Amino acid sequence: MPVQMSEEDFEEAVNDALDELPERLLEHVENCLLFIEPEAPEGMPPLLGLYEGIPLTERDTHYVGVLPDRIYIFRNPILRMCSTRAEAVEQIRITVIHEIAHHFGIDDARLHELGWG
């Protein structure tokens, strides 16, 4: 049975996950916004999170006037896969870290090797 968590509690868990990240790492997050959405867009595979943008490792001198990167955390899929609040909080933390890693240019294969897949 999916865990129940209010939108406010979910957002707080996302903020707590962000607060756990080292400040010196967060200082390098540039031109990036984070959104919490109920579900992934229709037609996409089941996702817990999504990064859309140009990773820092691919930005060059032509990176000017670009819209911000977007990180999406999908609330309902996370809650559906978890049976306790503690599991949900941990999965939120993993998902936030995973998507921010994409902003730094770390791909899924490497994240899986590191245990963040």
pLDDT tens-digit series, residues 3-56:
999 999 999 999 999 999 999 989 999 999 999 999 999 999 889 999 999 999
Task: Retrieve residue 67's tokens.
Answer: 């819209």
Q: Would you list the domain boundaries of the chain?
A: 7-113
Is-above-0.75 flag for pTM? yes
CATH topology of domain 7-113: Zincin-like (3.30.2010)
Residues 66-84 have pLDDT tens digits of 999 999 999 999 999 999 9
Q: Count the helices and strands in the chain (H runs, E runs).
A: 5, 3
Partnered with residue 73 across adjacent β-strands are 36, 49
Q: Based on the number of CB atoms within 10 Å of its own CB, is 34 exposed (0-12), middle (13-18) or buried (19 or more)?
A: buried
